[in-house]
Structure 1
Amino acid sequence: MKVIVMGAGVIGVSTAWYLAEQGHEVEVIDRQPSVGLETSFANAGQVSPGYSTPWAAPGLPLKTLGWMLQKHSPLAIRPRVDPAMMRWVGQLLANCTSHAYDINKGRMLRIAEYSRDCLDDLRQKLDLAYDGSQSGLIQLFRTQKQIDHAAHDVRLLEESGIPHELLDVASVLAHEPGLMGARDKLAGGLRLPGDQAGDAYLFTVRLAEAALAKGVTFRFSTRIEALEATADSIMSIRTSKGRMTADAYVMALGSYSPRLLKPIELNLPVYPVKGYSLTVPMTDETHAPRSTVNDETYKVAITRLGDRIRIGGTAELAGYNLKLSPDRRETLELSFSELYGGGDLSQGQYWTGLRPCTPDGTPVVGPAGRYGNLWLNTGHGTLGWTMACGSGKLLADRLSGRRTDIPSLDLSLDRYAA
């Protein structure tokens, strides 16, 4: 079967690899000149199944009000007349119940754990090098209140059988001695030994090379203009380089997926949530992370990537605006300076990208409603790198009519119709 994958980020390339491995003729289309140049380019670098948590949680509305009063808030909302944003926020708030949170977190943990295992298999099979680390993740708590709020997540981790351990300050420092200078700022931590780190862009490049060797065709600098459809199937894709046809089509364009689906009357509840990162050269290993930590106070991730440090985080609702905000950079620098400091911030490469977020936190992986030959693999939010390999494998299995390794029916778009 010939399959066109729309999007050459980590999700699209992972999907293309697994489809090709199953014997399909695969073509990948992207507007960029190479792979991984949008949201996959400089994300936080974490492969964090244990940290897979929906934003929609009990207490979020009250937290949001408090954040709006903070200078270094983890969330910023830029006022705008945007019906899509208002609908998405409404759906997000509807998921802020204990019942919805447990369901959504369970789904996210399921696919994230599976994806981590798929990544392990790929890394060994293809000998992929991407500045990876398999040393776990520590969620850092600065207050007892943060520790108390983590109790519910700990219960869900226990129920899902995910290894974890609560750490006192001494234990945090044993795992991350670079935090010694911030000892008086710490209250404890939650360690997730099964989590990993790595450069998602490097991984995407390496996997694309392997996919190319397996026969996948990449068409770069090609803008997708529209999907041309009948009542129940896609006939072709109109691009800046002419029409392209296939037997099946996979939508993996992240935040831009809804824009192409809306004209064919397919409502995908994905909205761009802007994130930022700063990549700095490591200058002092004794004041740098060994692996990866999450600063719960500022919602900032600090990750070791070889001889570099990636500082990523914050969330901003600003539509498709890619302007770099000086305020967000200040927050990233503050978190890193207070905790570590072993990197040259003046040489930092500042970046922003649009995370494709669903209201319930779970990606949309599966068939696209009434269009029998259109498939969706998008909406991974902050966890695209974490869920990429598992999502690609699930999508390829379902498209090929194979039995999936984990339950996957509740990951499709149908859950929103219900």
Structure 2
Amino acid sequence: MKIIVLGAGVVGVTTAWYLAEQGHEVEVVDRQPGVALETSFANAGQVSPGYSTPWAMPGLPLKVAGWMLHKHSPLIIRAAAISVPMARFVTQLLENCTHHAYDVNKGRMLRIAEYSRDCLAELRNQTGIHYDGSQKGLIQLFRTQKQIDHAHEDMRLLGESGIPHELLDVDGILKHEPGLLGARHRLQGGLRLPGDEAGDAYLFTKNLAALAAEKGVKFRFRTRIEAIEAASDSIYGVRTSEGRLTADAYVLALGSYSPRMLAPIELKLPVYPVKGYSLTAPITDESRAPVSTVNDETYKVAITRLGDRIRIGGTAELTGWRLRLSEDRRETLELSFSEMFGGGDLSRARYWTGLRPCTPDGTPVVGPSGRYGNLWLNTGHGTLGWTMAAGSGKLLADRISGRRTEIPALDLSLDRYTS
């Protein structure tokens, strides 16, 4: 079967890889000159199934109200960007802030994220792919006792899902991350997730694309996708800046831009762009650098070791599709890193921003489109596109090929929003 994948980020490329492995003729289309040049380019670098948590949780409205009073809030809502799509996303997000919804949504996220981590390990063993990866776990850092108390609910769900975890005191944290010694006085404890990993999503995608090309996958870059052309119940082509492209089946993996592509064919996709930022700095002092990856719970900032570099990523900004770099967000990233580690040269850091495609319930949309029998969706991964990419790609390839999926998949489809 000939299949066109729309989007060459980490999700699109992993989907193409697995489809090619299953014998399909695959073509990937993207407007950029290469793979992973948008949201996948400089994300936080964490492959963090244990940290897969929906933003919609009980008590979120009160948290947001408190955050709005702080300069270094992990969440920013730009008033000038308020729109109907933003209001709809926020409303649906708040509807998911119940205890029941949180348990259901987190359970789904953990399922796909754990599966994805296993698929990534299998792919790594199969191909020997290099991406500055490490498998040394993740530590969520708590500065207050209140943060530790709130972590017990997540620990309950982790336990129910069989995911290894341990609550650490400060000495336990320093055993795994000695570079935090200078921040000892700021720490109260930490939650360690030994199964979590780290790696450069851009490097992974670039190298996997090269391997996919060896399997026959064709990449069509610098090609603007103008419209999906649909009949009553199927897609018959994709109109691009290079002409119409046709296939037997189509996969939409355009991240935050997916809803815009589906709107003209009357499919509503509950995905909204949430802007994130990162700094990538060279290591200057090994004794004050992370061994693997940590999350500063106070600022919601991730600090990750990527070879001889440190990636500092985080913050969530609701500002539509605007990609302007904000200096106040850079200050927050620098503050968290300087208070925790400090072993990198921030003056030489590369500052970047990208749009995370978020769903109100935190779970990606992976499966059939519903209305159109040959259109499939793999989008809406939010901050966890790198974490969930391999599993989402394998899962969708199995469904397209008519194979039995290795994990339950029906509740990951779009129809959970319409049924």
Q: Could you tell me the TM-score, scaled by structure 1's length?
A: 1.00
Counterpart for residue 38 of structure 1: 38
Secondary structure, counterpart of 2:244 in structure 1: strand
Question: In the aligned structure 1, how far is the partner of 2:332 from the partner of 2:172?
Answer: 27
| CA deviation vs aligned residue, 1:94-139 (integer Å, no higher than 9, x gap) | 0000000000000000000000000001111110110000000000
Counterpart for residue 411 of structure 1: 412
Structure 2: state its 5+ residue gaps. none
Counterpart for residue 392 of structure 1: 393
1:328 Cα deviation from its structure 2 partner = 0.3
**1:49 equivalent in alignment to 2:49:** yes
Secondary structure, counterpart of 2:184 in structure 1: helix
Counterpart for residue 367 of structure 1: 368
For 1:78, give the aligned amino acid: R
| CA deviation vs aligned residue, 1:141-162 (integer Å, no higher than 9, x gap) | 0000000000100000000000
Question: In the aligned structure 2, how far is the partner of 1:84 from the partner of 1:337?
Answer: 36
| CA deviation vs aligned residue, 1:60-91 (integer Å, no higher than 9, x gap) | 00100000000000000011341111111100
* Cα RMSD for the two superposed structures: 0.4
Counterpart for residue 76 of structure 1: 76
Question: In the aligned structure 2, how far is the partner of 1:276 from the partner of 1:162?
Answer: 29
1:369 Cα deviation from its structure 2 partner = 1.4
1:213 Cα deviation from its structure 2 partner = 0.1
Spell out the pairing of 1:190-205 with structure 2 (5 A cutoff).
190-205=191-206
1:370 Cα deviation from its structure 2 partner = 1.0
Counterpart for residue 153 of structure 1: 154
Secondary structure, counterpart of 1:162 in structure 2: coil
For 1:263, give the aligned amino acid: P
Counterpart for residue 5 of structure 1: 5
Spell out the pairing of 1:141-290 with structure 2 (5 A cutoff).
141-290=142-291
Question: In the aligned structure 2, how far is the partner of 1:81 from the partner of 1:30?
Answer: 29
CA contact (8 A) 2:82 2:319 kept: no
Question: In the aligned structure 2, how far is the partner of 1:403 from the partner of 1:39?
Answer: 31
Counterpart for residue 20 of structure 1: 20
Question: In the aligned structure 1, how far is the partner of 2:223 from the partner of 2:211?
Answer: 22
Question: In the aligned structure 2, how far is the partner of 1:316 from the partner of 1:116?
Answer: 27
Count of aligned pairs: 418
**1:348 equivalent in alignment to 2:349:** yes
**1:67 equivalent in alignment to 2:59:** no
Question: In the aligned structure 2, how far is the partner of 1:348 from the partner of 1:147?
Answer: 32
Secondary structure, counterpart of 1:231 in structure 2: coil
| CA deviation vs aligned residue, 1:252-295 (integer Å, no higher than 9, x gap) | 00000000000000000000000000000000000000000000
Q: Tell me which stretches of 4 or more aligned residues in structure 1 moved more than 3 Å.
A: none
What is the aligned-residue identity percentage?
79
1:6 Cα deviation from its structure 2 partner = 0.1
For 1:70, give the aligned amino acid: H
Structure 1: state its 5+ residue gaps. none
1:314 Cα deviation from its structure 2 partner = 0.1
Spell out the pairing of 1:122-137 with structure 2 (5 A cutoff).
122-137=123-138
Question: In the aligned structure 1, how far is the partner of 2:61 from the partner of 2:232?
Answer: 40
For 2:10, give the aligned amino acid: V
1:377 Cα deviation from its structure 2 partner = 0.0
Counterpart for residue 103 of structure 1: 104
For 1:197, give the aligned amino acid: A
Secondary structure, counterpart of 1:335 in structure 2: helix
Question: In the aligned structure 2, how far is the partner of 1:173 from the partner of 1:400?
Answer: 47
Question: In the aligned structure 1, how far is the partner of 2:135 from the partner of 2:329?
Answer: 29
Question: In the aligned structure 2, how far is the partner of 1:203 from the partner of 1:187?
Answer: 35
Question: In the aligned structure 2, how far is the partner of 1:344 from the partner of 1:270?
Answer: 36
Give the stretch that moved more between structures: 20-29 or 74-83: 74-83
Question: In the aligned structure 2, how far is the partner of 1:260 from the partner of 1:381?
Answer: 18
| CA deviation vs aligned residue, 1:22-74 (integer Å, no higher than 9, x gap) | 00000000000000000000000000000000000000001000000000000
Secondary structure, counterpart of 1:372 in structure 2: coil
CA gap of 1:81–1:67, structure 2 versus 1, over 3 A, is closer
Secondary structure, counterpart of 2:44 in structure 1: coil
Secondary structure, counterpart of 1:356 in structure 2: strand
1:391 Cα deviation from its structure 2 partner = 0.0
Question: In the aligned structure 2, how far is the partner of 1:350 from the partner of 1:410?
Answer: 37
